[in-house]
Amino acid sequence: MGRPTWLGLALFGLTLPAHLFVEQDSSLVLAAITRALIGGAYIGFGAADGRRSVFWSELAVALVFGAAAVAGLLWHWAALPLGLALHALWDLAHHNARRLTRVPRWYIPFCVVFDLMAAAFLVLLYTR
């Protein structure tokens, strides 16, 4: 495993245990905020890319991930891990992409690992 993968695992290990020490409602809010922030990272990448079309497409996708965060709070908790898993797919779509946003090479494996680990953790946490 490379350094970005280890960093994704480390971030998971540092952040997700907080869910074990709060009530489920607070955990849902924490997961929703995390979901929204993760989706917003690509807005910055889109702005740094310099192409207007890329910025607007990244903003649109970030809004979809923000909607998943709101849906997790107002509709069903499953929207939160689903949003994380879909974000991992969005990360993978940027791997060696020519038309999508240019992102640092380390970011993709880092984020995929965190997203998938967090999604699995939330499913296990909320179904117990």
pLDDT > 80? residue 57: yes
Say which residue, 8 or 60, is predicted with more confidence. Answer: 60
- Tokens representing 53? 């079309």
DSSP assignment letter at 64: H
pLDDT at 63: 94
pLDDT at 84: 94
pLDDT > 90? residue 124: yes
pLDDT > 90? residue 27: yes
Domain ranges of the chain: 3-127
pLDDT > 70? residue 97: no
pLDDT at 82: 95
Using CA atoms, how far apart are residues 66 and 60, in angstroms rounded to an integer? 10
Mean pLDDT computed over every residue of the chain: 90
- Tokens representing 101? 């946003």
pLDDT > 80? residue 99: no
pLDDT at 81: 95
Task: Please give the model's pTM, rounded to 2 decimal places.
Answer: 0.89
Query: The dihedral of CA 22, 24, 29, 33: what is its sign?
Result: positive
pLDDT > 70? residue 89: yes
